[in-house]
Amino acid sequence: MMNKTLVGLVGVTAFAALILAGGKTPAPPEPSLAPAPEPLAVEAASSDEPVVPVEVSAEARLREKALAAGLSSLPSTLIEPRDNAITPDKIELGRMLFFDPRLSASGVISCNTCHNVGTGGDDNLPTSIGHGWQTGPRNSPTVFNAGLNIAQFWDGRAEDLKAQAKGPIQAGVEMANTPMQAVATVKSMPEYVERFTQVFPEEQDPVNFDTIAKAIEAFEATLVTPNAPFDRFLAGEDAALDETQQAGLELFIGRGCTACHSGPNIGGRSYFPFGLINRPNAEVLPPEDKGRFEVTHNPADEYVFRVAPLRNVALTAPYFHSGRVWDLKEAVQVMGHAQLGLALSDEEAGKIVSFLESLTGEMPSIAYPELPAETAATPRPTL
Amino acid sequence: MMNKTLVGLVGVTAFAALILAGGKTPAPPEPSLAPAPEPLAVEAASSDEPVVPVEVSAEARLREKALAAGLSSLPSTLIEPRDNAITPDKIELGRMLFFDPRLSASGVISCNTCHNVGTGGDDNLPTSIGHGWQTGPRNSPTVFNAGLNIAQFWDGRAEDLKAQAKGPIQAGVEMANTPMQAVATVKSMPEYVERFTQVFPEEQDPVNFDTIAKAIEAFEATLVTPNAPFDRFLAGEDAALDETQQAGLELFIGRGCTACHSGPNIGGRSYFPFGLINRPNAEVLPPEDKGRFEVTHNPADEYVFRVAPLRNVALTAPYFHSGRVWDLKEAVQVMGHAQLGLALSDEEAGKIVSFLESLTGEMPSIAYPELPAETAATPRPTL
């Protein structure tokens, strides 16, 4: 950890100079127990106590800067969806459906196939493999913390996770099913019918495509990854980020990344053109995929995408909607050039990557569900 | 429950007559707490006590008959493999590998894809879908209790589960990988290397294709499904099987099914020709798949297959190596005709199905593993 310095221009300037010089990063010191965070000077100033000079650590200043730039911590438990009250039974039912491959026409593909909760909530492929081994058009986004995003899919075409859940079940290149057959499949298994009846008592016909989607959304609401090193740093644990990660965070703020990547999901809250300053090459930004334009048909939305949320980004290579960049440092450099007009050096991009690695949180414990057995009424798989 | 009867030919004959007549089955009574099992007459006779007539229930007699026919209970914890000492760390590592799709060339298919622990340990397809959406030649057998089988695969070509595990990873129609690339994939992730080093301290180069297979076998050793109603019945809980199931068990023994389907896995211990008495039709027994002959090249092994283990059979439709029969009652009738030369009535087959449903055990709790992230050294998926 950087030693605490007295508040003053000398300390701050020295820190900034270290960052901007891009000099050799000192080796991170041994981890130590974080001291209790010092009260900030601003806090002292706003109280009734007389203003006295207080020691403020470089970490405390960086924390303040990060919060001022709009970065924030993850909720530690559940991301409450709209219009879908969460109950333990609904979560449990959603967990079953999330892992049930029989929601696909083939009986082979489940939500977890492309949003694998064991590998960062995605499938680590450029674009997903679906029904008939077809490849989808865009990279599978992580399901973790997805409820924090402004809308779902790279182009925001689903307003929330319950709307999103209906997409892949029906997409010909994904699960290739129909709502009617998905409902018939679920209805064919008495244990599912019983659970839906219990979870959705207000529904006359509890198993329907909406309730399937709502149950899945309820499970996904629990897929939160709290206590990342960055969250612990924000909470006052100075030692949670090492010196390189702190330098990376400083750059992430200073270079302007936080203009888009902010909020609890470090992104996911707004839309921006990919290639705001410089257009990426055609592999990274294939000309045929016009992004949000395909939803709004507004020419201003050509090549506009939802800002990628960066939580757990170190687990979710390859990157971008096209999934063509495997290396996170390269992805950072592509973004610097395309969105900010910056040529980030290898060293700068490396520090930012170190910071991004601090966004990997604690994965929730997920029990693999025991699914009901098919019956004679269950539609047979179609390959 | 059938009322207890005094030991004697009258009771036994009446019971047999009920079964053989194929008359209408009385509705099963309400479940009740099972009384403690009565001591059997044979036990009394073998002690030093003077022989006195004792009450023996129909259930106790049936239990005795089942044990005499070679049916037995499942071990309740772990099926110890040969040459592979089981440790908690090895089980944990195996669980990770079992669920890791990156053992396949595509990065999409894991062991769990075809041996889905949520759906009875198989994939509920006639034959599995693998790399490039190819269909495999035979129905995927359940992974549950598989360590009890004499050998692995329908033709017994792998002597145990560690040998079996190597098959699908390399099969072109399944995971389509090579041992070298699977090892390179695992080695590219430091967390895996650390775990292998810890689990296999005797190995100079701990990550290799053998240790990968051994770890998977260790996890699979835990995939046991104890306490099925049938096991509880064998353990003395009369009420664990209802009257129809008891009648089914009586038929299962009396008609000769136990000649092959015995032992703790109710099968899986021997090889027999499919079509011992009558050859099934070409859809059920496709002429081009000569079974164990393809392993031994012994003409006596044409159309010979490992006897299917029947634990959890109600969860693993469709049936047979060809996976062409979806209905368990139909499967029972096919077997009666093909193997025993019997035309089982719908009612008889229905009772046997009721008994087979009592072989569904308690599924183990399995936590979905958190898998290590790929690195720059991880081989890229090949689609």
Neighbours of B237 (CB within 10 A): 18
- Regarding whether A182 and A231 lie in a shared domain, the answer is no
Residue at A278 is within a domain: yes
- Regarding whether B254 and B352 lie in a shared domain, the answer is yes
- Regarding whether B153 and B248 lie in a shared domain, the answer is no
pLDDT one-digit tens code per residue, A263-309: 999 999 999 999 999 999 999 999 999 999 999 999 999 999 999 99
Rounded Cα gap, residues B76 and A233, in angstroms: 46
For residue A247, the model assigns a pLDDT of: 98
Indicate which CATH number applies to the domain containing B140.
Answer: 1.10.760.10
Give every CB contact of residue A46 below 8 A, 6+ residues apart in sequence: none
Q: Give A99's contacts in chain B (Cβ within 8 Å).
A: 118
Burial of A336 (0-12, 13-18, 19+ CB in 10 A): buried
Please judge whether A317 and B374 are an interchain contact, meaning their C-beta atoms are less than 8 angstroms apart.
yes
User: Measured between CA atoms, how close is B233 to chain A, in angstroms?
Assistant: 23
Token digits of residue B131: 């790399």
- Regarding whether A214 and A99 lie in a shared domain, the answer is yes
Q: How far is CA B324 from the centre of its chain?
A: 18
For residue B163, the model assigns a pLDDT of: 95
For residue B47, the model assigns a pLDDT of: 52
The catalytically annotated residue of A174, A237, A348, A357 is A174
The size of the A-B interface in CB pairs under 8 A is 91
Please judge whether B383 and A135 are an interchain contact, meaning their C-beta atoms are less than 8 angstroms apart.
yes
Domain boundary among B193, B220, B247: B220
- Regarding whether B315 and B195 lie in a shared domain, the answer is no
pLDDT one-digit tens code per residue, A227-260: 999 999 999 999 999 999 999 999 999 999 999 9
- B32-53 burial string, b = 16+ CB within 10 Å, else e? eebeeebebbeeeeeeeeeeee
Nearest to B317 among A100, A135, A374 (CB): A374
- Whether residue A174 lies in the annotated active site: yes
- Regarding whether A181 and A275 lie in a shared domain, the answer is no
The catalytically annotated residue of B38, B59, B174, B348 is B174
Scanning chain B, the segments in alpha helix (DSSP H) are 9-21, 41-46, 58-68, 88-99, 111-114, 161-170, 179-187, 190-199, 209-220, 229-234, 243-254, 293-296, 328-340, 346-357
- From A230, A239, A231, A228, select the one nearest A4 (Cα to Cα): A239
Rounded Cα gap, residues B359 and B265, in angstroms: 9
- Regarding whether B146 and B64 lie in a shared domain, the answer is no
- Regarding whether A231 and A214 lie in a shared domain, the answer is no
Phi, psi of B291 (to 5 degrees): 65, -135
Nearest to A119 among B132, B366, B371 (CB): B371
pLDDT by residue for chain B (383 residues), tens only, comes to 333 333 333 333 333 333 333 333 334 334 344 444 444 444 444 556 566 667 799 999 999 999 999 999 998 779 999 999 999 999 999 999 999 999 999 999 999 999 999 999 999 999 999 999 999 999 999 999 999 999 999 999 999 999 999 999 999 999 999 999 999 999 999 999 999 999 999 999 999 999 999 999 999 999 999 999 999 999 999 999 999 999 999 999 999 999 999 999 999 999 999 999 999 999 999 999 999 999 999 999 999 999 999 999 999 999 999 999 999 999 999 999 999 999 999 999 999 999 999 999 999 999 999 999 999 999 999 99
The verdict on pTM exceeding 0.80 is: yes
Rounded Cα gap, residues B299 and B287, in angstroms: 14
User: Measured between CA atoms, how close is B301 to chain A, in angstroms?
Assistant: 32
Rounded Cα gap, residues A284 and A349, in angstroms: 18
Domain boundary among A220, A249, A280: A220
- Regarding whether A169 and A65 lie in a shared domain, the answer is no
With vertex at residue A245, the alpha carbon angle to CA A119 and CA A124, rounded to the nearest 5 degrees, is 20
- Regarding whether B342 and B268 lie in a shared domain, the answer is yes
Q: B326 — contact with chain A (CB < 8 Å)?
A: yes
For residue B14, the model assigns a pLDDT of: 35
Q: Give B317's contacts in chain A (Cβ within 8 Å).
A: 373-374
Please judge whether B366 and A367 are an interchain contact, meaning their C-beta atoms are less than 8 angstroms apart.
yes
What letter does residue B343 receive in the DSSP assignment?
Answer: -
Please judge whether B107 and A99 are an interchain contact, meaning their C-beta atoms are less than 8 angstroms apart.
no
Residue at A383 is within a domain: no
- Regarding whether A152 and A72 lie in a shared domain, the answer is no
Residue at B329 is within a domain: yes
Q: A133 — contact with chain B (CB < 8 Å)?
A: yes
For residue B27, the model assigns a pLDDT of: 40
Residue at B255 is within a domain: yes
- From A102, A255, A249, A79, select the one nearest A175 (Cα to Cα): A102
Residue at B45 is within a domain: no
Please give the tally of structural domains in chain B. Answer: 2
Residue at A37 is within a domain: no
For residue B19, the model assigns a pLDDT of: 35
Cβ pair A279, A341 in contact under 8 A: no
Cβ pair A90, A199 in contact under 8 A: yes
pLDDT one-digit tens code per residue, A80-124: 999 999 999 999 999 999 999 999 999 999 999 999 999 999 999
Please judge whether A118 and B368 are an interchain contact, meaning their C-beta atoms are less than 8 angstroms apart.
yes
Q: A124 — contact with chain B (CB < 8 Å)?
A: yes
SS3 state at B13: helix
For residue B135, the model assigns a pLDDT of: 96
Rounded Cα gap, residues B164 and B143, in angstroms: 11
Rounded Cα gap, residues B346 and B329, in angstroms: 8
Residue at B49 is within a domain: no
pLDDT one-digit tens code per residue, A48-76: 656 666 779 999 999 999 999 999 999 87
The overall average pLDDT reported for chain A is 89
- Regarding whether B70 and B101 lie in a shared domain, the answer is no
Residue at B343 is within a domain: yes
Q: What residue numbers bound the domain in which B257 lies?
A: 2-25+60-77+227-357
User: Measured between CA atoms, how close is B317 to chain A, in angstroms?
Assistant: 8
* Furthest C-alpha separation in chain A: 79
